[in-house]
């Protein structure tokens, strides 16, 4: 039986346990208004980090601020918006140790039906947004080193029927990540890319648009293609520990890597 987005969120929140792996470290997490970004930000906070959550919009409960957590509105497709938001975040936290760029969009259209607006929107958020946020983070990390984690997708490596524009955008994110990992390694900056297959509110919305027969077929396909569990993973239990590792000192010698966190749905080397 499918879990609702609300139930998934409450189960994930209950799994967040206090730790010390990121004590004193300062991070920006984009796309933190809901879903994976929000879960990751909360996991970092539970490990002792300071976090600035960024998104184009927030619900009132996410915008609550503490000494360790704050939120800043940001359209990652706008250079002026990104530079202003990052300056505000770094000023609030008195520094920056890393960026996790979760923010992104997806969509489904037959390749021949993709119009200019759909293509441009996908590239503006997923590709330009990665480019702009990474450049902004670099300016604050180049003198002290740090961590950047981008979000790709297995769709960027394998055929993705009915979402070729999404696939192309994530392929670009993967190529960009590998390239800047080489360029920025001399500054002590690691840059890696996760390819997650995680249950999110966005995925829940996609499921809601399927009729019963389509949903049954979809769940059967997932059950036969994801070796572990037969369904998408949980953001806190399955993804957050990987991201905590990638932004911690434990990953100081790991860069330019694609990490598929997908229960075996996608495999990289």
The better pLDDT of the pair 48, 210 is held by 48
3-state secondary structure at position 205: helix
The rounded percent of the chain whose pLDDT value lies above 70 is 90
133 and 30 Cβ atoms separated by less than 8 Å: yes
- What burial letters (b/e) apply to 210-248, b meaning 16+ CB within 10 Å? eeeeeeeeebeebeeebeeeeebbbbbebbbebbbebbb
Q: In the structure encoding, which two tokens stand for residue 264, read together?
A: 């075996």
CATH code of the domain occupying 5-261: 3.40.50.720
pLDDT at 65: 73
Angle at 113 between CA 109 and CA 117, to 5 degrees: 85
67 and 129 Cβ atoms separated by less than 8 Å: no
Q: Read off φ and ψ for residue 8, nearest 5 degrees.
A: -60, -45
pLDDT at 94: 97
Rounded CA separation 123/121 (Å) = 6
Per annotation, catalytic residue among 140, 166, 187, 203: 166
Name the CA dihedral angle for 93, 186, 83, 129, rounded to a multiple of 10 degrees.
-110
Q: In the structure encoding, which two tokens stand for residue 44, read together?
A: 């970092």
Active-site residue 166, yes or no? yes
Q: How confident is the model at residue 165 (pLDDT cuts 50, 70, 90)?
A: very high
Query: Which pLDDT tens digit goes with each residue over 109-151?
Result: 999 999 999 999 999 999 999 999 999 999 999 999 999 999 9
pLDDT at 236 > cutoff 50: yes
pLDDT at 179: 98
Rounded CA separation 56/247 (Å) = 23
3 and 229 Cβ atoms separated by less than 8 Å: no
Average pLDDT over residues 94-98: 98
Query: Which pLDDT tens digit goes with each residue over 9-26?
Result: 434 444 556 788 999 999
pLDDT at 262: 73
The better pLDDT of the pair 194, 7 is held by 194
Q: In the structure encoding, which two tokens stand for residue 22, read together?
A: 């990121």
For tokens 């879960």, name the residue. 39
pLDDT at 17: 66
Domain ranges within the chain, ordered by starting residue? 5-261
53 and 32 Cβ atoms separated by less than 8 Å: yes
Q: How confident is the model at residue 98 (pLDDT cuts 50, 70, 90)?
A: very high
Please state the pTM of the whole predicted model: 0.87
Average pLDDT over residues 171-183: 98
Report the run of H or E that residue 167 belongs to, with start and end.
Answer: helix 164-184
Report the run of H or E that residue 22 belongs to, with start and end.
Answer: none
Query: Which pLDDT tens digit goes with each residue over 180-223?
Result: 999 999 999 999 999 998 877 777 777 788 888 888 887 887 78
Average pLDDT over residues 241-249: 97
pLDDT at 3: 30
151 and 101 Cβ atoms separated by less than 8 Å: yes
């Amino acid at each position: 039986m499918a879990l609702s987005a609300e139930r998934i969120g409450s189960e994930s929140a209950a799994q967040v346990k206090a730790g010390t792996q990121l004590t004193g470290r300062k991070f920006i997490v984009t796309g933190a208004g809901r879903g994976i970004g929000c879960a990751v930000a909360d996991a970092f906070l539970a490990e002792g980090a300071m976090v600035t959550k960024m998104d184009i919009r927030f619900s009132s409960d996410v915008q609550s601020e503490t000494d360790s957590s704050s939120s800043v509105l940001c359209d990652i497709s706008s250079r002026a918006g990104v530079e202003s938001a990052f300056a505000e975040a770094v000023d609030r936290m008195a520094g920056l140790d890393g960026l996790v760029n979760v923010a992104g969009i997806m969509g489904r259209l037959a390749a021949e039906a993709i119009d200019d607006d759909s293509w441009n929107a996908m590239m503006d958020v997923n590709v330009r947004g990665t480019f702009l946020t990474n450049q902004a983070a670099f300016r604050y990390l180049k003198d002290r080193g740090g961590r950047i984690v981008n979000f790709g997708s297995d769709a960027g490596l394998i055929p993705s029927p009915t979402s070729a524009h999404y696939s192309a955008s994530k392929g670009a994110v993967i190529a960009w990540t590998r390239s800047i990992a080489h360029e920025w390694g001399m500054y002590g900056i690691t840059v890696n890319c996760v390819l997650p297959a995680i249950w999110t509110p966005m995925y829940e919305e996609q499921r809601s648009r399927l009729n019963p027969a389509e949903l049954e077929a979809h769940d059967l396909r997932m059950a036969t293609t994801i070796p572990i569990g037969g369904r998408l993973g949980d953001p806190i239990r399955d993804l957050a520990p990987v991201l905590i590792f990638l932004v911690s000192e434990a990953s100081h010698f790991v860069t330019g890597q694609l990490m598929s966190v997908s229960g075996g749905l996608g495999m990289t080397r």
